[in-house]
Amino acid sequence: MSGAGRRLLLSGGVLPDGTAADIAVDPDAGTIVEVAPALDPEAGDIVEDCSGMVVVPAPAEPHAHLDKALSAMAAANPAGDLAGAIAAWHAHWPELTHADLVARATTAVEAMVANGTTAIRTHVDVGAGLGLRALDALVEVRAGCRPLVDLQIVALVATPLTGSGGAANRRLLGAALDAGADVVGGCPYRDPDPAAATALVLDVAAGAGLPVDLHTDETLDPAVLTVRDLARQVGERGPGAGVTASHCVSLAVQPPAVQEEVAALLAASGVAVVALPQTNLYLQARGVTTAPPRGLTAVGALRAAGVTVAAGADNARDPFCAVGRLDATETAALMVMAAHLTPGQAWHACSAAARAAMGLPAGGLAPGAPAELLALAGGDLADAVAGGTANRITVHRGHVVARTTTTRTLCGVPEPLEV
């Protein structure tokens, strides 16, 4: 712990645009106190040498699945598509143990923190057949990782949720909130009555005073567009923060007029959208051999309408995505390549917009901003995102919580032996 008046000084680095700057942080308040080209260390300062590094707002992960993370070898998905992933994961449920869930989730969290992430929202399966086993494990992980990261748990309740067939899942959703879930989740678009399922989730969240984050239209089927109804229902209840629609893939295959209409409804209702390039590029458009769609939401139309558009990694090395570095620079690079954002826009989606979608205070690099920071090797933000270096310093709540240093040696070609 830092003593009174002791600062953390990130010295010798550059800002995202490449401008030289030192950043002084008050660890006790967890905020930035000064940003200037050169700051003289004060007595007792903790100085971190950021030479050759760019200092950026730390990323937040708005959509993870820590209960599934790193399970690809145990729960194989030979088909590679969403239906195959769901089947593989459900078949693996009987083999899940508390110790396994805690161990894999903790490993994933620690990797994300080392890569710079200081806030994570994880969806956790809840439903008949699994009960609260995964949620109980993530509650334990949240407590154990509290010094490293802010971790939010979404109760991803199974379908069906409506009708007599959904009674058990409805009871489990209530039990999940009692057991410590922070956010109400679900997949209304997969329910027999999507509109009723959406209303039910919104009612439960309102009654509990909790935010909502829904898996929405994770399909390229243009006939599925429940995000429009979600925006309308939220708007009718009164616009406000606290509702997030993740995926929204089918919005991208709608005509431009429909995209603009839905984007306007989302903007007016205050619903945030989370794009998930890593997993949706992996799962979607399999079997489409001519000009396959990119499997992303309509990022351009949403941004043009003023919707908060965040970006996350979703799954990592599990049945839903066979790869993934648990690294926001990978997500940002995919948003540059697949969504055609600039590196700055992509990082905004992974940091400020992600925090907004999670209901967290905005970050930044100005005095008074929360000291949620990442220093990583590079001459500017674009260079750092492109390089994806492992050399990083992660600052959470004004304290260094992770530091990674690597050594590279180019050995050259040995001289030929003389005969």
Phi then psi dihedrals of residue 39, to 5 deg: -115, 135
Q: Which residue has the higher pLDDT, 85 or 241?
A: 85
Residue 240: pLDDT band (50, 70, 90) is: low
Q: Is it the case that residue 64 has pLDDT exceeding 80? A: yes
* Structure tokens that stand for 269 in this block: 């209702």
Task: Tell me the two tokens of residue 340.
Answer: 């055609």
Structure tokens at 124: 């956790």
What is the predicted pLDDT for the residue at 2? 41
Percent of the chain at pLDDT > 90 equals: 94
Is the per-residue pLDDT at 1 higher than 70?
no
* 42 close to 25: Cβ distance less than 8 angstroms: no
d(CA 364, CA 116) in angstroms, rounded, equals: 14
**Exposure class string for 147-170: b at 16+ Cβ within 10 A, else e:** ebbbbbbbbbbbbbbbeeebeebb
> Who has greater pLDDT, 419 or 228?
228
Residue 416: its pLDDT value, please?
80
Average pLDDT over residues 164-190: 97
Can you give the pLDDT at residue 396? 98
Q: Average pLDDT for residues 188-217, to the nearest whole number?
A: 97
pLDDT digits (tens, 9 = 90+) for 312-332: 999 999 999 999 999 999 999
Q: Which domains does the chain have, with CATH numbers?
A: 8-58+364-404 (2.30.40.10), 60-357 (3.20.20.140)
Q: Are 186 and 160 in contact (CB under 8 A)?
A: no
**What are the tokens at 392?**
């990083």
Phi first, then psi: what are they for 43, rounded to 5°?
-55, 130
Q: Is 116 exposed, middle or buried (0-12, 13-18, 19+ CB in 10 A)?
A: buried
Q: What is the pLDDT of residue 412?
A: 85
Residue 56 structure tokens: 């950026």
Q: In this predicted structure, what is the pLDDT of residue 278?
A: 97
Task: Inform me whether the pLDDT recorded for 407 exceeds 70.
Answer: yes
Average pLDDT over residues 16-20: 97
Instruction: Check whether 107 has a pLDDT greater than 50.
Output: yes
How many whole angstroms from its chain centre is CA 354?
7
The pLDDT mean for the chain works out to 96
H or E element, residue 107: helix 98-114
Rounded to an integer, what distance in angstroms lies between the CA atom of residue 20 and that of residue 298? Answer: 36
Please name the residue ranges forming H helices in 270-412.
277-283, 299-305, 328-339, 343-350, 352-357, 381-387
Length of the chain: 419
Note the pLDDT tens digit of each residue in 270-279: 999 999 999 9
Q: What is the pLDDT of residue 108?
A: 98
